[in-house]
Structure 1
Amino acid sequence: MEDLNAIATPGMLVRHPDKPDWGVGQVQSNIGGKLTVNFRDAGKVVIDSARVGMMPVYKDD
Protein backbone atom coordinates (compact mmCIF):
# COMPACT_ATOMS: atom_id res chain seq x y z
CA MET A 1 0.00 0.00 0.00
CA GLU A 2 2.95 2.29 0.45
CA ASP A 3 3.07 2.99 -3.30
CA LEU A 4 -0.47 4.39 -3.22
CA ASN A 5 0.55 6.93 -0.60
CA ALA A 6 3.94 7.80 -2.15
CA ILE A 7 2.31 10.59 -4.17
CA ALA A 8 0.67 12.16 -1.11
CA THR A 9 2.06 15.64 -0.58
CA PRO A 10 1.19 18.33 1.97
CA GLY A 11 -2.06 20.03 1.04
CA MET A 12 -3.44 17.06 -0.88
CA LEU A 13 -7.00 16.02 0.01
CA VAL A 14 -7.65 12.37 0.88
CA ARG A 15 -10.20 10.01 2.40
CA HIS A 16 -9.56 7.00 4.62
CA PRO A 17 -11.09 3.98 2.80
CA ASP A 18 -12.33 2.36 6.03
CA LYS A 19 -13.45 5.51 7.87
CA PRO A 20 -15.86 7.47 5.65
CA ASP A 21 -17.28 9.17 8.75
CA TRP A 22 -13.92 10.98 9.19
CA GLY A 23 -14.70 13.06 6.11
CA VAL A 24 -12.08 14.60 3.86
CA GLY A 25 -8.59 15.02 5.24
CA GLN A 26 -5.70 17.25 4.25
CA VAL A 27 -2.22 15.73 4.20
CA GLN A 28 0.09 17.59 6.59
CA SER A 29 3.24 15.51 6.02
CA ASN A 30 4.49 12.28 4.45
CA ILE A 31 7.69 11.11 6.15
CA GLY A 32 9.11 7.60 6.30
CA GLY A 33 5.88 5.87 5.33
CA LYS A 34 3.84 7.79 7.89
CA LEU A 35 1.16 10.17 6.67
CA THR A 36 -0.09 12.84 9.02
CA VAL A 37 -3.57 13.84 7.92
CA ASN A 38 -5.92 16.41 9.44
CA PHE A 39 -9.47 15.10 8.97
CA ARG A 40 -12.50 17.36 9.06
CA ASP A 41 -14.38 15.17 11.56
CA ALA A 42 -11.60 13.19 13.29
CA GLY A 43 -8.77 15.68 13.76
CA LYS A 44 -5.10 14.91 13.18
CA VAL A 45 -4.30 11.24 12.55
CA VAL A 46 -1.03 9.49 11.70
CA ILE A 47 -1.53 6.78 9.06
CA ASP A 48 0.88 3.88 8.47
CA SER A 49 1.25 3.68 4.68
CA ALA A 50 2.07 -0.02 4.88
CA ARG A 51 -1.39 -0.72 6.31
CA VAL A 52 -3.75 1.79 4.70
CA GLY A 53 -3.86 3.22 1.18
CA MET A 54 -5.51 6.62 1.27
CA MET A 55 -7.93 7.59 -1.48
CA PRO A 56 -7.20 10.89 -3.23
CA VAL A 57 -10.03 13.41 -3.36
CA TYR A 58 -10.51 15.65 -6.36
CA LYS A 59 -12.50 18.87 -6.42
CA ASP A 60 -15.59 17.22 -7.88
CA ASP A 61 -15.68 14.31 -5.33
Structure 2
Amino acid sequence: MSMPFQSFLEPGQIVQHPDFPEWGWGQVQSAIGERVTVNFQNEGKVLIDASRVELKLVQG
Protein backbone atom coordinates (compact mmCIF):
# COMPACT_ATOMS: atom_id res chain seq x y z
CA MET A 1 0.00 0.00 0.00
CA SER A 2 1.48 3.36 -1.02
CA MET A 3 1.60 6.40 1.21
CA PRO A 4 -0.94 9.11 0.37
CA PHE A 5 0.53 12.18 -1.30
CA GLN A 6 1.04 15.10 1.08
CA SER A 7 1.73 18.58 -0.23
CA PHE A 8 4.48 20.57 1.51
CA LEU A 9 2.54 23.78 0.91
CA GLU A 10 0.68 25.67 3.60
CA PRO A 11 -1.91 28.47 3.43
CA GLY A 12 -0.34 31.89 3.04
CA GLN A 13 2.70 30.76 1.06
CA ILE A 14 3.43 32.49 -2.26
CA VAL A 15 3.93 30.27 -5.31
CA GLN A 16 4.15 30.35 -9.11
CA HIS A 17 2.81 27.78 -11.57
CA PRO A 18 5.73 26.49 -13.70
CA ASP A 19 3.59 26.10 -16.84
CA PHE A 20 1.69 29.40 -16.57
CA PRO A 21 4.06 32.22 -15.53
CA GLU A 22 1.55 34.70 -16.97
CA TRP A 23 -0.74 33.89 -14.01
CA GLY A 24 1.71 35.80 -11.81
CA TRP A 25 2.29 34.82 -8.22
CA GLY A 26 -0.40 33.14 -6.19
CA GLN A 27 -1.19 32.74 -2.53
CA VAL A 28 -1.99 29.25 -1.27
CA GLN A 29 -5.52 29.27 0.16
CA SER A 30 -5.66 25.64 1.27
CA ALA A 31 -3.67 22.43 0.91
CA ILE A 32 -5.38 19.13 1.67
CA GLY A 33 -3.43 16.10 0.50
CA GLU A 34 -2.65 16.67 -3.17
CA ARG A 35 -5.41 19.28 -3.60
CA VAL A 36 -4.01 22.81 -3.39
CA THR A 37 -6.16 25.89 -3.96
CA VAL A 38 -4.18 28.94 -5.07
CA ASN A 39 -5.43 32.48 -5.71
CA PHE A 40 -3.29 33.81 -8.60
CA GLN A 41 -2.87 37.53 -9.43
CA ASN A 42 -3.99 37.24 -13.05
CA GLU A 43 -6.04 34.02 -13.05
CA GLY A 44 -7.98 33.96 -9.79
CA LYS A 45 -8.60 30.82 -7.74
CA VAL A 46 -7.33 27.57 -9.23
CA LEU A 47 -7.50 24.05 -7.78
CA ILE A 48 -4.22 22.26 -8.50
CA ASP A 49 -3.30 18.59 -8.18
CA ALA A 50 0.10 18.91 -6.48
CA SER A 51 0.91 15.28 -7.28
CA ARG A 52 0.98 16.31 -10.98
CA VAL A 53 2.20 19.92 -10.84
CA GLU A 54 5.18 21.07 -8.79
CA LEU A 55 4.40 24.63 -7.79
CA LYS A 56 7.45 26.86 -7.37
CA LEU A 57 7.72 28.38 -3.91
CA VAL A 58 8.42 32.11 -4.17
CA GLN A 59 8.45 32.84 -0.44
CA GLY A 60 7.47 30.85 2.59
| TM surpasses 0.5 | yes
Give yes or no for the alignment of 1:34 onto 2:35: yes
Distance in structure 1 (CA, Å) of the matches to 2:50 and 2:8 = 11
In structure 2, the gaps of 5 or more residues are none
Q: CA deviation at 1:7?
A: 1.9
Task: Using structure 1 for the length normalisation, give the TM-score.
Answer: 0.83
Q: What is the root-mean-square deviation in Å for CA atoms of aligned residues?
A: 1.7
Which has more radius of gyration? 2
> What number of residue pairs does the alignment pair up?
56
Identical columns (%): 50
Q: 1:7 corresponds to which residue?
A: 8
Task: Using structure 2 for the length normalisation, give the TM-score.
Answer: 0.85
Q: CA deviation at 1:50?
A: 1.4
**Runs of 4+ that moved beyond 4 A:** none
